[in-house]
Structure 1
Amino acid sequence: MSEPMPQPESTGSDEARRLLEEEEYGLRRPRDWTRYLLPAVALCWSLFQLSLASWLLIDSTYTRAIHLAFAFAIVFMAYPTLRRPVTIPGLRWLGEKQKIPWADLVLALLAVAAALYIAVDYEDLATRIGAPIPRDLLFGILLVLFLLEATRRTIGPALPIIAIFFSLYAFFGPYMPDFLSFKGVSINRYITQISLTTEGIYGIPLDVSARIVFLFVLFGAMLEKAGGGKFFIDLAMSLLGRYKGGPAKAAVMSSGLTGLVSGSSIANVVTTGTFTIPLMKKVGYPAKKAAAIEVAASTDGQIMPPIMGAAAFIIAEYVNIPYLEVCKAAAIPAFASYATLFFLTHIEANKLGLRGLPKADLPRFFHTLVGGLHYLVPLLVLLYELIIPRHSPDLAAFRATMVLMLIMLFQHAARARMRGEGTVAEGVRRGLSEIYQGLVAGARNMVSVAVATAAAGIIVGVVTMGLGGLITDVIDTLSRGNIYAMLGITAFASLLLGMGLPTTATYIVMASLTAPVIVTIAADQGFFVPLIAAHLFCFYFGILADDTPPVGLAAYAASAIAHSEPIPTGLQGFMYDIRTAILPFMFIFNHDLLLWNINSWGLAILIFIMTCLGAFAFAGATQGWFAWRNRWWDVPLLLLVAAMMFRPDFFGELFGIENHYIAYIPGLIVLGLVIAWQKLRQRRSAVVA
């Protein structure tokens, strides 16, 4: 039998879980009869979504409307109007957290009615597009107002403010200065576009949320309830815990595995960091660096195919390419980023002179693997369905979830029969309870995604009214037609927006505004940028906002566990994530990193290895250490290596090499020289000591 893992520190873990629950589950914990409403609605939502993926056939507009209606119902019941208690008599319900006030129940019913209006009156609405009657306008306006309020309650004021700004701009455009002027829209056109068609709130983002994202979020929630999250942590610790800086390496591996099915960086932090951060501190990592490593690893979970924090599916719809092509394009940057984070943990361990954990403190690998093999079965089913028969993502997720449910139902009963741990009947009852909890948790986890994609649809809808060309002109003016300035503006804006928005919403907003502009400006300067490269650029910088101070909720959760300061933790996490920030700039110009038009496995592996070496060199240059402590002249040499590995096309053209992959060779030579010099200095230092 394996030795038990050290237990996590409880107080910090409790605070981190509180942050997670506030972010994803809401603040309200009813204690009266209304406590049954929330799980009942969440359960019905999950069952509805599973029905859509199996036997229920309805129009996509109906699907989107019902999906949003369920989200509205949970928002107004789970999230109070104000987060802080209100002591003013008669207004205490605004901050009520112990029960669901009647006012919020009424708001929930009205919001559900507004969301369902397009489905209830669908056929008549289709006959009066562009000429709404007063009732249409009333429900359309109510839908916008309820959506803005639901978004404010769940993810804060940033996205509603942006949506309001765009809406006001649509109306007051004719009164703006010449270079910002816009012909404007009428209330009829605005409501028709935003609320009564599939060009606004009920647009592509909400459709992807309803058809695909929900099932993957549900799959991740159920895998966690089944015990898959702890299995990944134990497996990573058993493999890597005894090596230098082992707990940090295990944190990277477990966060990467969790990131395969999780779309939330804060959930990753709480799931894996609860165990790995105390263990990192135990072997000698300072609290700030232990928390920052977990933040960097968990944040990057969202760039890991096949799910990528739900964005993979939206990117596929926007770019109009197969979903697997998105996964293919994202593969090298994602895996290279994780490999580099492994290298960073090794650098930090070398700097601090750390060792791993004693073998006796770690789970045994084969015992852990055999005991959790059944958790890999649904993951393998998911990957098989996506890659071999190439079924649609929703069908693949549904079948994997069904397999997972069977495992959850019988795993405890099987253990009871084989090991005598209780009775078979008790095991089945426990399995049914975990399935129920997973169905409820999956729905509640989806609330913020559903309202964020719907609210982002307001912005997308306004842009498609005719603002797109104006935005292109404005950004072109700001960047003065320079693609590098354009990319800098986009990166900064994505980081800024991402501080107040979920990753998916940040991506939708920035991709709608800037992705086509990047492609256009690049074309004007004489070179080609694939549309998917522009979309992934926006997506990556939206993700990096999760650990960017002063907001960075992932950093707050990790610092709560590590008992470190949130702002310094976020800054340290961002320093680790610089190695991820450089990759989007590289794949804009070198499309090989996205495997664009590359179908050779051998060439893909070569590009991956060289990209990893370039990322290692860049990380070494920014962290002051590679094979040994850097001297000042090592830094430009390492940056040169990174440039040659990331942009062999540029150096091949510079030196007149027809096959630009040959440009990797000088980079390898320079890297070898740096390693040799640093190892020599290390030996000399050891002799002196």
Structure 2
Amino acid sequence: MTEPPAGQLPKSAEEVEELVESFEGKTRHLPGLIGRFITAVLVVMSLYHLWATTATVVTQIHRTIHLLFVLFLTFLVYPGWKGAARRIHPTDVILSLASVAALGYVIVDFEGFIYRAVVPNTLDLVFGVLTILLVLEATRRSVGNALLIVVGGFILYAFAGPWLPAPWTHRGYDLSRLVGQLYMTLEGIFGVPIAVSSTFIILFTIYGAFLDQSGAGKFFVDLAFALTGRRRTGAGQAVTVASFLLGGPSGSGVATTVTVGAIAYPLLQKAGYDRESAGGLLSAGGIGAVISPPILGAAAFLIAEILKITYLQVLVTICRSS
């Protein structure tokens, strides 16, 4: 996509999506039967998580199902290398099916699985190693190599402890213990991050998608200008308020910046803001809204999970201290 002219923001849904992807990662846009299949899987995933908010599901099974959906879709939606963005490669299908096998194994044999964490059998080791590798590959595709290198370094450290000098030396982990810790308990792959993702973040993501598709972005901008438009600095304040209203639920700073900017940028120009000031205001509002109280991005959910308190208690505490 060509860059929009100076002083102009992209306004079509396609332009906005391409701009967001340039910052947050490239994804495939697959037409036809494959595209409808992926949409159907996403709908099923959303319906399951909405149902799980009121149903009683075993914690480890719920997190496993969540990760199964995520890995299955990641390999279909995120290309593995440059030049693979236009179609799904057979390797992607194999990895998606491997995700179903490795995590479906946990669900099918759950009663025996949870009691073998200390002494995994051969199948546990095979599927455990496979799951770890799949998570690493999904991380590389969706986030990049930096996080992959950090995680890979810590995994190697678990094995290399006996050969390291003090103070880094330790007794070392064998493969059985590492797989048992990472794959078969709630302290590794299925720990706090997946707990927060499967319980809170997924619901905010669904809510953010609903706001995006329903045109709520324009409503929030209109509401913000209605509240602040009569003031001398109303245009700038309106951008801040609109970004706050839209950024928290959407969870994407870039998407918030582009959505609010497409509507508010002409109004900022009329109010006397130059291009640099308007751009800085929009970007600061969009990015800052995601991490501002009371939402705090994913941090508030992590705080609630670690301290074993409710999300509402976290919000009340944050608002009191702000």
What's the TM-score once normalised by structure 2's chain length?
Answer: 0.89
Q: Say if 1:255 and 1:297, in contact at 8 Å, map to a contact too.
A: yes
Letter in 2 for 1:164: G
1:2-46, Cα deviation, whole Å (9 max, x unpaired): xxxxxx945477655313246668521123421212101101100
- Residue number in structure 1 paired with 2:43: 43
The alignment partner of 1:184 has SS state of coil
Q: Say if 1:245 and 1:280, in contact at 8 Å, map to a contact too.
A: no
The alignment partner of 2:298 has SS state of helix
Within-5 A mapping of 1:367-382: none
- Residue number in structure 2 paired with 1:155: 143
Gaps of 5+ in 1: 1-7, 86-94, 333-593, 595-607, 609-689
Summarize the Cα distance change of 1:22–1:36 in structure 2 as closer, same or farther, 3 Å threshold: farther
Report the Cα offset of residue 169 of structure 1: 1.1
- Residue number in structure 2 paired with 1:65: 64
Separation of aligned partners in 2, 1:73 and 1:299? 29
1:230 aligns with 2:218: yes
- Residue number in structure 2 paired with 1:296: 284
Within-5 A mapping of 1:219-618: 219-331=207-319, 594=321
Separation of aligned partners in 2, 1:255 and 1:141? 42
- Residue number in structure 2 paired with 1:501: none
- Residue number in structure 1 paired with 2:90: 102
- Residue number in structure 1 paired with 2:185: 197
Letter in 1 for 2:205: V
Letter in 2 for 1:154: S
- Residue number in structure 1 paired with 2:126: 138
Q: Say if 1:255 and 1:298, in contact at 8 Å, map to a contact too.
A: yes
1:634-670, Cα deviation, whole Å (9 max, x unpaired): xxxxxxxxxxxxxxxxxxxxxxxxxxxxxxxxxxxxx
- Residue number in structure 2 paired with 1:516: none
Report the Cα offset of residue 306 of structure 1: 4.5
Letter in 2 for 1:69: L
Separation of aligned partners in 1, 2:23 and 2:182? 27
The alignment partner of 1:298 has SS state of helix
Q: Kindly report the root-mean-square deviation, in angstroms, between the aligned alpha carbons of the 2 structures.
A: 2.3
Separation of aligned partners in 2, 1:22 and 1:111? 27
The alignment partner of 1:127 has SS state of coil
Q: Say if 2:119 and 2:176, in contact at 8 Å, map to a contact too.
A: yes
Report the Cα offset of residue 150 of structure 1: 0.6
Higher helix proportion (structure 1 or 2): 1
Report the Cα offset of residue 271 of structure 1: 2.0
What's the TM-score once normalised by structure 1's chain length?
Answer: 0.43
Q: Say if 1:248 and 1:276, in contact at 8 Å, map to a contact too.
A: no
Letter in 1 for 2:63: R
1:388-443, Cα deviation, whole Å (9 max, x unpaired): xxxxxxxxxxxxxxxxxxxxxxxxxxxxxxxxxxxxxxxxxxxxxxxxxxxxxxxx
Letter in 2 for 1:167: I
1:78 aligns with 2:106: no
Q: Give the counterpart of 1:171 among 135, 159, 163.
A: 159
Letter in 1 for 2:310: P
Letter in 2 for 1:203: G
Separation of aligned partners in 1, 2:249 and 2:113? 39
Please identify the structure whose Cα radius of gyration is greater. 1
Report the Cα offset of residue 260 of structure 1: 4.0
Q: Say if 1:316 and 1:326, in contact at 8 Å, map to a contact too.
A: yes
Summarize the Cα distance change of 1:141–1:158 in structure 2 as closer, same or farther, 3 Å threshold: same
Q: Say if 1:28 and 1:80, in contact at 8 Å, map to a contact too.
A: yes
Separation of aligned partners in 2, 1:155 and 1:122? 30
Summarize the Cα distance change of 1:112–1:26 in structure 2 as closer, same or farther, 3 Å threshold: farther
1:136-195, Cα deviation, whole Å (9 max, x unpaired): 111111101111111111111121111101111111122222122223211111111001
Separation of aligned partners in 2, 1:16 and 1:224? 11
Q: Say if 2:25 and 2:143, in contact at 8 Å, map to a contact too.
A: no
1:471-521, Cα deviation, whole Å (9 max, x unpaired): xxxxxxxxxxxxxxxxxxxxxxxxxxxxxxxxxxxxxxxxxxxxxxxxxxx
Q: Say if 1:256 and 1:301, in contact at 8 Å, map to a contact too.
A: yes
Report the Cα offset of residue 259 of structure 1: 3.1
Summarize the Cα distance change of 1:32–1:226 in structure 2 as closer, same or farther, 3 Å threshold: closer
- Residue number in structure 2 paired with 1:116: 104
Summarize the Cα distance change of 1:23–1:62 in structure 2 as closer, same or farther, 3 Å threshold: farther
1:523-550, Cα deviation, whole Å (9 max, x unpaired): xxxxxxxxxxxxxxxxxxxxxxxxxxxx
Name the % identity.
37
Gaps of 5+ in 2: 1-6
Summarize the Cα distance change of 1:260–1:128 in structure 2 as closer, same or farther, 3 Å threshold: closer
Separation of aligned partners in 1, 2:104 and 2:147? 23
Q: Say if 1:262 and 1:309, in contact at 8 Å, map to a contact too.
A: no
Letter in 2 for 1:252: T
Report the Cα offset of residue 117 of structure 1: 2.5
Letter in 2 for 1:71: V
1:200-233, Cα deviation, whole Å (9 max, x unpaired): 0011221221122211221222133222221110
The alignment partner of 1:209 has SS state of helix
Q: How many residue pairs end up in the alignment?
A: 315
Summarize the Cα distance change of 1:76–1:168 in structure 2 as closer, same or farther, 3 Å threshold: same
Q: Say if 2:10 and 2:262, in contact at 8 Å, map to a contact too.
A: no
Q: Say if 1:240 and 1:249, in contact at 8 Å, map to a contact too.
A: yes
Letter in 2 for 1:264: S
Report the Cα offset of residue 135 of structure 1: 1.2
